[in-house]
Amino acid sequence: MNDTWSITDLAKEFNVTTRTIRFYEDKGLISPERKGQRRIYHLRDRVRLRLVMRGKRLGLSLDEILQIIDLYDADPTEAAQLKHFIGKLRVRRELLERQRDDIDTVISEIREREIQCEELLHR
């Protein structure tokens, strides 16, 4: 098992560009060790990158992801982090459910208009 990874290794593993990883570094989400121009990523960086990717997939902003990750540093028991994460997930789920309801309403209205237009054409 590797103890360190290069930026190319992580980019391949997480299917992102090296530019994306450098962007996450600029935002303070990960902080690799530097040896000259070379970045050396440790397990902590890899785990944080995995959390960033998961948060992005769930629709969280980078600021929200950083808050959650930083909570772990403040409370290694993860209790504060998990409570905060649950709150963020709940808000995200509720938003998606409202959007789904809106989409269902629009689809229903489109179906009605299609039927009306077809009836008008057949008259």
How confident is the model over 42-69, as pLDDT tens digits? 999 999 999 999 999 999 999 999 998 8
pLDDT of 1 strictly over 70: no
The confidence band for 112, taking pLDDT boundaries of 50, 70 and 90, is: very high
92-109: average pLDDT: 97
Report the topology of domain 4-121: Multidrug-efflux Transporter Regulator; Chain: A; Domain 2 (1.10.1660)
Mean pLDDT score of the chain? 93
How far is Cα 13 from Cα 30, in angstroms, rounded to an integer? 16
CB atoms within 10 A of CB 81: 20
pLDDT of residue 65: 94
Predicted model pTM: 0.77
**Do residues 25 and 31 lie in contact, with contact meaning Cβ atoms separated by under 8 Å?**
yes
How confident is the model over 60-94, as pLDDT tens digits? 999 999 998 888 777 777 888 888 889 999 999 99
Domain ranges of the chain: 4-121
